[in-house]
Amino acid sequence: MVITRTQPTFQLLSKFGIDGPHSGAYAGSWLPAKGPDLLVHSPATAELLGSVRLASGADYAAVRDAAHAAFLRWREVPAPQRGEYVRRIGEALRARKDDLGRLVSLEMGKILQEGLGEVQEAIDIADFAVGQSRQLYGLSMHSERPGHAMREQWHPLGLVGIISAFNFPAAVWAWNSMIALICGDACIWKPSPKAPLTAIAMTKVAAEVLEPDGFGALLSLVIGTNEDVGEKLVADPKVPLVSFTGSTAVGREVAAKVARRLGRTILELGGNNGLIVTPEADLSLAVPAIVFGSVGTAGQRCTTTRRLIVHRSIADDLERRLVAAYGQVRIGNPLAEGTLMGPLIDAAAVERMSQTLKAAKAEGGEVLCGAAPLTMQGAEAGGNFVRPAIVRATPNMKVVREETFAPILYVLRYDTLDEAIAMHNDVPQGLSSAIFSLNVREAERFLSASGSDCGIANVNIGTSGAEIGGAFGGEKDTGGGRESGSDSWKAYMRRQTNTVNWSTALPLAQGIRFDLG
């Protein structure tokens, strides 16, 4: 197949050896994938970026077997030495940050600064994991029996399946894979078919570090359909842990199938994130946080601000400020300087936003600004552009309780803080949340056990984004999983309790006597 690209696109992809149709199966070397071709288009211009030959079911089995063989060797490497490999992967990513960031923007549609920021997250988690490789601590415990010692230690788990979404085509893989590597595991990555080129590029950068020592298959890649690859990965008993990022509906299916074989899951599912603004908020902080949280990545973050819960006394003023700020958001080519919001990922996403706005109006909501689709001119005429929307709504509206992966912000009004927190928690999802208030009592009330029910709760910063040092994830329909920082590493290892008898006697538990005469 001959692919005609613009010169800048050709030059960028050539830097990663993606010069023409490319295999979607990697297991220490690129396999001649046997599936159909996947055409990849820019969401901003509809330009044909590349073609990926999808992996078949047989390709998945070959990748799985190679990854498992690499794991059997890798688990014998001391953890600090595993950390050294991860350090070098981080350095390789750092050296290619600009090109990788541009590729993320080109393929996924987020603005360049966000693309660069996402690659920086991958670099940061590599740095974090290096330190973690010397801190895989167990416990020393006191035995109730004389002359005995008890301890707890952690061992490598095995193969980690990583199924990632299109909106973070680099960072989510790194959150999982860098921690899994220092834990002694191997990874099989099934990226979103909406962003496969970034996955190929990230894999190639990591392979430069791992391949020379025969460890390339530790970070294997299978780009394929759900039927040929996804379902096999989820059902595979040789993959003890599956980390899935995606919709709640699909996450339920993944959880059930993995649980059926008694495997483990890390689930990062839907978010319907609320932000409370009290009368004691600093609006000079709140307004930019709300705008970035709701408009950033064109509303396609799992931590996007979707519900604004504002005190009735300041609601009119805050709405005016937000409508004015939305009018200043520059929409267009995500790689162009000055652009603040790029396109949605595809035409289907544009249609979902349009239908959601119609449904909001039908339920009595008032659209203050925003529209889908947005007609563009020139090279962006074929792109999936929309105007970010603000909808004055009520909490009982069906659309308010659902997550629409688009820049729609619902404004809800409250009278008391207890009412605001109850309104905030009264949705199925529980990922990220925030409150803006300079009142310490209000802030601490929001962070208390009877406050926000989300996995992430912030004060005077928005819902969107998270530092890699903290465990990332949520509750309820968000899935309950945790990735990245804190003690998330424990999910990628198996726990073992050891008891050592160094005495000359054999005391039995609970004082039992077993006299053989």
| Residue 352 vs residues 247, 252, 347, 402: alpha-carbon distances, Å | 14, 22, 9, 12
CA torsion 380→381→383→384, rounded to 10°?
130
Task: Specify the residue for token string 């899951």.
Answer: 265
| Residue 351 vs residues 9, 20, 374, 386: alpha-carbon distances, Å | 28, 31, 11, 10
Asked about 302 being catalytic, the answer comes back as yes
Task: Specify the residue for token string 């308010």.
Answer: 400
Angle at 174 between CA 250 and CA 333, to 5 degrees: 80
Asked about 268 being catalytic, the answer comes back as yes
Going by the DSSP 8-state scheme, the letter that residue 381 receives in this structure is G
Tokens of 182: 């220092």
Going by the DSSP 8-state scheme, the letter that residue 492 receives in this structure is G
> Could you write out the three-class secondary structure of 443-458?
HHHHHCCCCCCCCEEE
Burial class for 72, CB neighbours closer than 10 Å (0-12, 13-18, 19+)? exposed
Do residues 156 and 507 touch, judged by C-beta distance below 8 A?
Answer: no
DSSP string, 34-69: -S-EEEEE-TTT--EEEEEE---HHHHHHHHHHHHH
Going by the DSSP 8-state scheme, the letter that residue 243 receives in this structure is E
Catalytic residue among 47, 121, 183, 302: 302
What is the DSSP pairing of strand 37-41 with strand 456-459?
A: unpaired
Q: Which amino acid is at 436?
A: F
**Hey, which residues does 367 pair with through a beta bridge?**
391
For CA atoms 254, 259, 265, 270, give the dihedral sign: positive
Catalytic residue among 118, 121, 268, 319: 268
Straight-line distance from the first to the last Cα atom of the chain, in angstroms, rounded to the nearest whole number:
82
Helix (H, G, I), strand (E, B) or coil at 99: helix
Tokens of 479: 């899935």
Give the residue numbers annotated as catalytic, written as ranges. 268, 302
